[in-house]
Amino acid sequence: MAEIVTIGEPLVLFAAEDEDQSLAQATHFHKYLAGAEVNVAVGARAWATRSIT
């Protein structure tokens, strides 16, 4: 199995849960991983573990 190395910095995205407030006034957030490196790593892992029928 081939190995893939990603180089870069993964990002953290904070998305506000408070829909009725501005971003500056929001107090509750969800955290998500973001960035091209994370997308490539997750996609490659999913592709490598898919079942072959």
6, part of any domain:
no
pLDDT at 3: 81
Q: Is the predicted pLDDT of residue 12 greater than 90, yes or no?
A: yes
Q: Where are the beta strands (DSSP E) in the chain?
A: 11-16, 29-34
Question: Would you say residue 1 lies in a domain?
Answer: no
Give the Cα separation of 46 and 34 in Å (integer).
Answer: 16
Does residue 4 form part of some domain? no
Instruction: Evaluate whether residue 2 is within a structural domain.
Output: no
Q: Each residue of 20-49: pLDDT tens digit?
A: 888 899 999 999 999 988 888 888 888 888
What's the total number of domains in the chain? Answer: 1
pTM: 0.55
**Is 35 inside any structural domain?**
yes
* Domain assignment of residue 19, given as a range: 11-48
Q: Rounded to whole angstroms, how far apart are CA atoms 5 and 10?
A: 13
For residue 41, being part of any structural domain is answered with yes
pLDDT at 11: 92
Rounded Cα distance, 35 and 38, in Å: 6
Specify if 17 maps to a domain: yes
pLDDT band at 17 (very low <50, low <70, confident <90, very high): very high
